[in-house]
Amino acid sequence: MSRDKQGELITVTGPVFGDEGKAKIVDWLAWNNPTVAAVARYQGGDNAGHTVVVGRQEYRFHYVPSGILAAQQKKLMCVLGRGMVVSLPRLFAEIQQLAQLGVEVNPSNLLISQGIHLTLPYHMALERARESGGARKDTTKKAISQTYGFAHLYQGVRAGDIVGDVRRVSQLIDEPLAWANAILTEVYGELRISKQEVMSEIEDHRRRLSPFLHNEIKFLNTCLDKGSSVICEGAQGGMLDVDLGIYPYTTASNTWPAAIQHGCGLDPRRITRQIYVVKAYLTRVGQGPLVSEIPDDDERGKIIRERGHEYGTTTGRPRRVGWFDQIIGRFGRAISPPTELAITKADVLSGLDLRVCVDYKMGGVILSIFPTSMITLQACQPIYQDFTGWDEDITGASCWDDLPSQCQNYLKKAPSCYGAPITMVGTGPERNQIILV
Ligand code: GDP
């Protein structure tokens, strides 16, 4: 099949610290693009918290792709790619919670890769033990990194492994369980996890899982080959990428768009639209440097947090708030330039005088490139450019010309570091509060 005839491959990712409002953009595209046949997640697990607001109803997704609302009305498959990690009890609990809200998730609209690695009780026990043993405490406590870690040590159990012969499953967990128990007891002085506990969790879910399992690589590539479009929905953000982010204050997976290759078998060279969802300011959950963080004595940080509801969807933790950072933007542009930008939450900034971080300074030297060394980064100070704000409430504005000139000026200048046109501007939390530029 000629690639000229392929459908659109659209990635929707955040290039900073996550929580940009990706779900709203994915939902919008899934509804409004008639050629979309699939919406796929390709990394992370339920450490993601994606929210779509429809009228007064808020839908929160942790595993299930944000295209699932569109999939209730149109033929569209949501896909969990093999680059994800999944806890089956938590996945089926989410499916049940969505059913209570009238959202049906079943094998006709959710495909789960056979290659997905499973989070099992010993991963959870290790995560708890590590945190109580003094390790980093700002994870979502879902054992995401434990699951990826075991996978890289060839000690993983994949979804496709557990639907077959139960004796083989039992053999498969012997070694990882022995490892986990050795670490639990020897390193942390904790209790062992029994094999029965692990097997009964698997037994409880494997039959239910079976009809969802397919080869997502074949499915997604066939969609594109036949001229249908595929949306890949990123989770977390580029600066949280385990390799390219601010290690060790990262998530455990690769988050930039190219991760669709190992995460669901799509060639990144097929991407036709690489949309970066960029918040009009910065937020960050948990530890790690945030050079443009608004200090506690500046009321504007608190106002932005409250107005923007900047509390974690998964953890409820207050997010740290910072000014828009062009150094981070230039970093994203260098490693994976977007084709377009969706800017969200400019409405939160009404009535405030604004700043944009344009460079970092260290000991009198200006750094115009994002430093990858943690030591350098911790020593950096922000250099700001001030912007006059706007007083008008722009919530629900539906066209660019309705935005005050200061707002237009801010939106043109702050994200210019990405070198891509703005095609969408969010003007409120609700699904339809969006300007198409
Ligand atoms: P995601 O993880 O990137 O999908 O983002 P979250 O779901 O964590 O957070 C996005 C929140 O911001 C959701 O509650 C959205 O409804 C809301 N949101 C998205 N875009 C906008 C916007 O332009 N303005 C406002 N005020 N809220 C928005």
Ligand 1 atom with least separation from CA of 431? 16
pLDDT at 137: 58
Q: Residue 256 Cα, ligand 1 centroid: separation in angstroms?
A: 19
CA distance 137 to 355: 31
Estimate the crossing angle of helix 166-182 against helix 195-209, to 10 degrees. 140
Closest protein CA for atom 26 of ligand 1:
428
Compute the distance from residue 426 Cα to the ligand 1 centre, in Å: 9
Q: Decide whether any atom of ligand 1 lies within 6 Å of the 24 Cβ.
A: yes
For residue 169, report the distance from its CA to the centre of ligand 1, in Å: 41
Q: What is the residue-level pLDDT of the chain in tens, covering all 437 positions?
A: 556 689 999 999 999 998 999 999 999 999 999 999 999 999 999 999 899 999 999 999 999 999 999 999 999 999 999 999 999 999 999 999 999 999 999 999 999 999 999 999 999 999 999 888 766 656 778 999 999 999 999 999 999 999 988 889 999 999 999 999 999 999 999 999 999 999 999 999 999 999 999 999 999 999 999 999 999 999 999 999 999 998 989 999 999 999 999 999 999 999 999 999 999 999 998 888 999 999 999 999 999 999 999 987 667 789 999 999 999 999 999 999 999 999 999 999 999 999 999 999 998 899 878 987 888 899 999 999 999 999 999 999 999 999 999 999 999 999 999 999 999 999 999 999 999 99
> Catalytic: 152?
no
Which residue's C-alpha comes closest to atom 11 of ligand 1?
Answer: 21
Of the residues 27, 46, 50, 161, only one is catalytic, namely 50
For residue 427, give the ligand 1 atom closest to its CA: 23
Q: Which DSSP string do the residues of 399-413 spell out, in sequence order?
A: SGGGS-HHHHHHHHH
- Does residue 23 line the site of ligand 1, with CB under 6 A? yes
DSSP 350: T
Q: How much is the pLDDT for 138?
A: 66
Cβ of 60 below 6 Å from ligand 1: no
In three-state secondary structure terms, 201 is helix
Say which DSSP state 278 is in. Answer: E
The closest-lying atom of ligand 1 relative to the alpha carbon of residue 343 is: 23
Question: First CA to last CA across the chain, in angstroms?
Answer: 34
> Which ligand 1 atom sits closest to the C-alpha of 24?
19
pLDDT at residue number 253: 96
Is 50 catalytic? The answer is yes
CA distance 89 to 312: 22
| Ligand 1 binding pocket includes 27 (Cβ within 6 Å) | no
